Amino acid sequence: MGEMYCPKCNQTFEEGSRRFCPTDGVRLVSDSADSSEVRGGGIFSNLIPKIDAISDLKEPSRKPGSTPAKSSQAERQPHIPADNREPSLPDILLAPKHDAAAPAPEAEPVPPSRPTARKVNPYEIPAGHVDLANAERPLPPGADFDPRDPESFVGRIVKGRYKIVEFLGGDETGVSYIADDQIVSDKLVLVRILPESGLDEMMKTILTEERVALSHFSHPNVARLIDSGAFTNGIQYLITEFTDALSIRDVLSIHGRLDLERVGRIIRQAANGLSEAHQEGILHRDIRPENIIITSEHETDQVKLVNFGASDGTPNEFNIQYKAQEVLEGRTATAASDVFSLAAVAFEMLTGEVPFKGRTAKEVSRGHAVGLLKKPSDLRAEFGTGVDQVLSKALALDPALRYTKAREFGDAIVSALDEVSHAEEVPLGRVRPPRSPAAASDEERKTAAAQTVKLVPAVPPASKAEPAWKARSPEPPEVTNSRTKLIGGISLVALVLMLLAGWWWVRTHPAEPTNLATTANNDANDRPTITSDIEVPPLPRKIQQPMNTEFYQNTKANLRGDLLRHFVGFSIYYPKDWKVNGPAPGADANSRGKFLDISRVAPDGRMKEQMLISYYPSKGTMKDDADKFPQMVKETNETLKKILPGYQMVSEGEIKVNGDWRAYEVKFLAEGSSGSGGKLVVWGRRLFMPAARPGVQNGFEITMLATSLADEVKSVDDVGVHGELAAVLYSFEPSQDF
């Protein structure tokens, strides 16, 4: 018999076995069709231009006589040798083996041939369906989930297609894993295994029906339910889409309470998703900060509600502060109960406190009966009665007095916050004072103090020769006006008068003799030691784009694999004539990919300067990462010794980059011979830069290289200080959204 193939993914099937591709849903095409038809074109092939620059897509299979596809940029310019632990570095010490002036020999044409058939083990192909005939067949030993040893479940396959690759942890509502879809490549899902519960039959039926409805429900603010099932021992599981992002609980622990505009964006999106689910007869029953996650791209928050269908709504010590009174009393949860929980989350995001405190259900219920002891306006002076009224209605004791739809609550809180924002608008350069000094929060006092201080972005230390970035990226000009000049003149006159008064006092009041040793000791004892364990990220800089440069901003749009799971945001400018290699994920679980690889090369193709940007496992601050740096330095040395001949580490230690960004630096050098016998030296620096926010799990790893072919670089201390790489490093700006 003949063969059928999918014109989209090029999978082949026995003719007559199926009509549609199980992976893409595309109608299969007979292999005996017209040979002029090219696979992979699809019905829109005449409308959509072909793109040949994506290196991570496999080349489609071709029929005999077809023209080979063009190689990708990564294939045309092999640039980075593979490495088993970290972002790989180029073999920059090797000179080209042929004369650059001599023409390259012509390659002999290769006759086209049909791809060699590959033998496939049918037992290794994951099932894309549910075999009803074998539904009652017992699973092999060890296939069930063992709640006593959840980490042993890593490596198992669920539903015949989802391979567990990472254990995320668990709480009272179950344990979670990241799984790799064995049918759809580069697709990660979240497998959540639910705890054993003694639910009655009615509640089991309700949850089952809601999960079925949820599998057909799609909304951008709700994590989609892909599949569900149960093991032979009765333990149930849910398979949902996976989004690697922070929860509201994580954000609150990092930032404290959030600014008004951001709270409005988050609550409105969550309310819209919740309202649509309610219309489909689906309740969440466990709205709390842990179950709302946000991803920030292009300064915009994308909200998703997670763990729909995972909880029956039973109150426990972790969620009682977000439960409505009727749920605490054991009555059935309703849409109004979800609105109450969302309002409690909004209250905490705005004020930093929960509306009703208590460690037990009775203590929280007592607070519900009394009402809000502290309104939002009591905790933030800028709030008016509008925010108080909206939250008081949403948190009402009687469900009938609350908003009937979650969308109504979202619109109401956004309108109330907009009124506060418009009321706060003041002329540029002025700070609106709080209602009273006692009512001003610590955050407001810090903000007011920061706005009274002139903030100038820090620059690298000056040297005898002006750094290259001075001509490329000048600092913003200082703004002065007549009022500033007047204040400066008055201050100068006052300073002169004070100096004259001090001189007159010294002349008319001679000092008594003192014991210098005693005075020095007393001064030393009385002098405060300035130490601080608090790390905050520097204020974002506004850098004017230099001429003849390109702008690059790291986003999740084109990432996959470990780069998507360990995303860090940043932006940078680089010269237009530099070579660029885009994101390259790690080859295996033990390697780290790189977000960006840019380089400046000589006319003969040898490297002059290069920068690679990746990530490293972090805890968020220099203090918390102190125990990690020795191991990171060890890994750096072991890796680079395999790549760079004559490698040796020069120094290591803490430095500051681009002003006040703290980083741990490793300096190194290597020496070798080029193909012509000349000496070639490589200098390098590697920076490990935390996000300066406690709890952020990924930091920035920046590797900079320069060779003796770069005229401006003469030593390891010149890397990133002189040459074009200096301007590139200066423009590196980490994202402020973690």
The predicted-structure confidence for 258-285, as pLDDT tens digits, reads as follows: 888 899 999 999 999 999 999 999 999 9
What is the token pair recorded at 137? Answer: 């067949």
153-194 tens-digit pLDDT = 998 999 889 999 998 888 777 899 999 998 888 889 999 998
CATH of the domain at 265: 1.10.510.10
348-386 tens-digit pLDDT = 999 999 999 998 999 999 999 988 888 999 988 888 789
Residues 416 and 559 in one domain: no
For residue 458, with 0-12 CB atoms within 10 Å meaning exposed, 13-18 middle and 19 or more buried, which class applies?
Answer: middle
Q: What does the H/E/C string look like for 381-417?
A: CCCCHHHHHHHHHHCCCCHHHCCCCHHHHHHHHHHHH
Residue type at position 337: S
Which runs of E-coded beta strand occur in 86-203?
157-158, 162-171, 174-181, 188-193
Counting every residue written for the chain, the total comes to 738
pLDDT at 423: 63
Q: What is the DSSP string of 67-136?
A: PPPPPPHHHHS------SSS-----TTPPPSS-SSSPPPPPPPPPP-PPPP----GGGSPP-S--GGGTT
Q: How confident is the model at residue 495 (pLDDT cuts 50, 70, 90)?
A: low
Q: How confident is the model at residue 693 (pLDDT cuts 50, 70, 90)?
A: confident
For the CA atoms of 38, 41, 43, 46, what is the dihedral angle to 10 degrees? Answer: -100
CATH of the domain at 566: 3.40.1000.10
Distance of alpha carbon 259 from alpha carbon 399, whole angstroms = 29
SS3 label, residue 236 = strand
Distance of alpha carbon 109 from alpha carbon 90, whole angstroms = 30
Distance of alpha carbon 559 from alpha carbon 580, whole angstroms = 16
415 inside domain = yes
What is the token pair recorded at 313? Answer: 């709504």
pLDDT at 717: 92
Residue 689 CA: distances (Å) to CA of 251, 614, 619: 20, 11, 11
Residue for token digits 């040898």?
606
721 inside domain = yes
Tell me how far the alpha carbon of residue 71 is from its chain's centroid: 31
Residues 417 and 553 in one domain: no
152 inside domain = no
**Cα–Cα nearest to 287, from 249, 263, 323, 254:** 323
Residue type at position 532: S
Tell me how far the alpha carbon of residue 341 is from its chain's centroid: 27
The pLDDT of residue 80 is above 90: no
The residue that leads in pLDDT, 436 or 305, is 305
What is the token pair recorded at 283? Answer: 């309740």
Outline where 651-712 has alpha helix (H): none
The pLDDT of residue 133 is above 50: no
- Give the CA angle between residues 307, 311, 317 to the nearest 5°: 105
Among the candidates 76, 108, 135, a domain finishes at 76
Backbone dihedral region for residue 137 (phi beyond 0: left; psi -120 to 50: alpha; all else: beta): beta
Q: Show Cβ contacts of residue 710 under 8 Å, excluding neighbours closer than 6 positions.
A: 600, 608, 609, 723
Which one of 197-211, 487-501, 687-701 scores highest in mean pLDDT?
A: 687-701
Among the candidates 42, 76, 110, a domain finishes at 76
Distance of alpha carbon 231 from alpha carbon 255, whole angstroms = 41
The residue that leads in pLDDT, 499 or 178, is 178
Residues 214 and 351 in one domain: yes
pLDDT at 721: 92
Choose the weakest-confidence range: 196-205, 275-284, 314-323: 196-205
What is the token pair recorded at 85? Answer: 């632990």
Domain of 13 in residue numbering reads as 1-76
pLDDT at 479: 38
- Give the CA angle between residues 278, 286, 226 to the nearest 5°: 65
Distance of alpha carbon 551 from alpha carbon 536, whole angstroms = 26
444 inside domain = no
The pLDDT of residue 78 is above 80: no
Question: Is-contact 186 192, C-beta < 8 A?
Answer: no
Distance of alpha carbon 695 from alpha carbon 489, whole angstroms = 47
Q: Can you give the pTM of this predicted structure?
A: 0.46
704 inside domain = yes
7 inside domain = yes
36-65 tens-digit pLDDT = 444 433 333 333 333 333 333 333 444 444
- Give mean pLDDT, residues 73-100: 43
Phi, psi of 473 (to 5 degrees): -135, 75
Q: Quote the percentage of the chain above a pLDDT of 70.
A: 66
The pLDDT of residue 136 is above 60: no
pLDDT at 501: 67
Q: How confident is the model at residue 419 (pLDDT cuts 50, 70, 90)?
A: confident
Phi, psi of 307 (to 5 degrees): 65, 30
Among the candidates 388, 423, 458, a domain finishes at 423
What's the mean pLDDT when you consider all of the chain? 75
536 inside domain = no
Please give the tally of structural domains in the chain. 3
pLDDT at 203: 84
Hey, how many other C-beta atoms are within 10 angstroms of the C-beta on 203? Answer: 15
Which runs of E-coded beta strand occur in 150-271?
157-158, 162-171, 174-181, 188-193, 225-230, 236-241, 246-247
Residue for token digits 């791809």?
115
Question: Is-contact 543 473, C-beta < 8 A?
Answer: yes
Hey, how many other C-beta atoms are within 10 angstroms of the C-beta on 592? Answer: 21
161 inside domain = no
587-609 tens-digit pLDDT = 777 788 899 999 998 887 788 99
- Give mean pLDDT, residues 415-419: 90
For residue 459, with 0-12 CB atoms within 10 Å meaning exposed, 13-18 middle and 19 or more buried, which class applies?
Answer: middle
Q: Show Cβ contacts of residue 358 under 8 Å, excluding neighbours closer than 6 positions.
A: 320, 321, 364, 365, 366, 367
Sheet holding 246-247, edge to edge: 246-247, 292-297, 300-305
Residues 206 and 341 in one domain: yes
pLDDT at 395: 95
